[in-house]
Amino acid sequence: MHALAMSALAMSGTEHTLWVWALIVGLIVLVAVAALLSLLIYLVQVIDRRVVTVRDTLKAAKANTADTVLIPQVATGVDAVLAEGLQHHLFLGRVLGKVKS
């Protein structure tokens, strides 16, 4: 009976070869999947770092342009100072006789 069980479990040479090839192909697929998952994890980490960089850049741009509302007010003040300076120039020029009306 023991010999019968051994012959029932024994594989032919072809079956053995097919099993070996199936195991090799399975191992190759397993290694490929692990490599692709590792690549995916790496690329997700790169994307996360770049998202942080873009976020920080946008925050810096927001901070840089936060006071743009003051530009018209400053421009009005600069125009007033320039107009005052022109009036002084014209006055001094007339007083000194260098500027004619």
pLDDT per residue as tens digits for the range 48-85: 999 999 999 999 888 888 778 888 888 888 989 999 98
Of 88 and 38, which is predicted with more confidence? 38
Residues whose CB is less than 8 angstroms from the CB of residue 100 and which lie 6 or more positions away in sequence, other chains included: none
Instruction: Provide the total of helices (H) and of strands (E) in the chain, helices listed first.
Output: 3, 0
pTM, 2 dp: 0.50
Q: Are 100 and 93 in contact (CB under 8 A)?
A: no
Residues whose CB is less than 8 angstroms from the CB of residue 50 and which lie 6 or more positions away in sequence, other chains included: none
CA distance 71 to 32: 59
CA distance 87 to 85: 5
